[in-house]
Amino acid sequence: MTDGKIVVPAQAAIGQVDAQGPMIDPFGRAVTYLRVSVTDRCDFRCVYCMAEDMTFLPKREVLSLEELDRLCTAFIEKGVRKLRLTGGEPLVRKNIMGLIRSLGRHLDSGALEELTLTTNGSQLSRYAQELYDCGVRRINVSIDTLDPQKFKAVTRWGDLGKVMDGIRAATAAGLQIKINMVALKDVNEHEIVTMLKWCHEHGHDLTLIETMPLGEIDGDRTDQYLPLSTVRARLADEFTLTDIPYKTGGPARYVTIEETGGRLGFITPMTHNFCESCNRVRVTCTGQLYMCLGQEDMSDLRAPLRASEGNDLLNAAIDEAIGRKPKGHDFVIDRNRNQPAVSRHMSVTGG
């Protein structure tokens, strides 16, 4: 990187799809969606995601922005059409807009259909217009409550007012916003209707997410877990929900709410997993490729990435990993299995 600008190797600038076609896993699913964590660091400490006293990765283990660009480009050349940047909080990564601006070249070439990110909204006031200028058109913002005090309690370090300022800036910049809300028993379950009405009033989609057993946290996830089947049944008592085939490339199943005219998504890894149509893989900020969020199996892409300036070793590692993508995950939350199903935190794999 020079003065905040990523220097793109000639081979990475091509942006053409590999002649071998899309990546196909052992179950015939085409892998066209890549989620990349650009940092494990975050300026929040959400109670279902992190312990308050986190130990973050040494910087030498984290991929540089140039390495992240090269890795993303390799996947795009192998058929990825949607790229989502995650964290931690992606916008706290130093010079992150240099990476986003560089990756935007794949939108210009037509090789990439969408470049997007998931954010907690804390940095949106600063970056919203620049995100739009780089080709980002849609973002996910994680908000679990509209109550400022409860927001502070859930995020530990977050400021709801600052997030709301960011959402207004993103809307003004032309970004389409989807709100992600983790449904938490006895925490925000009675605020879901309020969130739904607020989102639809402001033109935002809402997606509800079941908490997932990822990483040790300061508490018991069985106390947090709220099945979305229960939530949907409650909502159906007040609203008219109609299933629709709308897709954004991710795992959410959507309905329309007749009374508000808006969309509501459900991400249900526990009550109804979405594995049969999984088109996604995830890369951590250290270059570990996870073929499934709910499995420990991974492939190290950092070593081949750093072993050669060419991509032959990297491409071979990607191909080998896709060849063992599992059929699905084994998430369980109950009193008999109080340990996380996966030891790594969500912030490491990417939210």
Averaged pLDDT score across all residues of the chain: 86
- Measured between alpha carbons, how far is 226 from 277 in angstroms, rounded to an integer? 24
* Residue 334 pLDDT: 44
77-89 residue pLDDT tens: 999 999 999 999 9
Per the structure block, which two tokens stand in for 276?
A: 């049969």
- Measured between alpha carbons, how far is 135 from 146 in angstroms, rounded to an integer? 29
pLDDT band at 239 (very low <50, low <70, confident <90, very high): very high
Cis peptide, bond prior to residue 88, ω within 30 of zero: yes
Sheet strands side by side (includes 298-300): 241-244, 253-257, 263-267, 205-210, 176-183, 138-142, 114-119, 82-86, 33-37, 280-283, 288-290, 298-300
Assess whether pLDDT exceeds 70 at residue 337: no
Identify the three-state secondary structure at position 204: coil
Q: How far is CA 210 from the centre of its chain?
A: 14
The domains located in the chain, with CATH, are 10-349 (3.20.20.70)
* Residue 20 pLDDT: 52
Of 35 and 43, which is predicted with more confidence?
A: 35
Assess whether pLDDT exceeds 80 at residue 269: no
- Measured between alpha carbons, how far is 246 from 252 in angstroms, rounded to an integer? 9
Assess whether pLDDT exceeds 80 at residue 19: no
**Which percentage of the chain shows pLDDT scores above 90?**
65
- What is the rounded average pLDDT of the residues 227-237? 95
133-187 residue pLDDT tens: 999 999 999 999 999 999 998 898 899 999 999 999 999 999 999 999 999 888 8
- Measured between alpha carbons, how far is 159 from 43 in angstroms, rounded to an integer? 10
Q: At what angle do helices 124-133 and 160-173 cross, to 10 degrees?
A: 20
In 3D, which of 291, 282, 244 has the Cα closest to residue 82?
A: 282
21-33 residue pLDDT tens: 689 999 999 999 9
Largest CA distance in the chain: 59
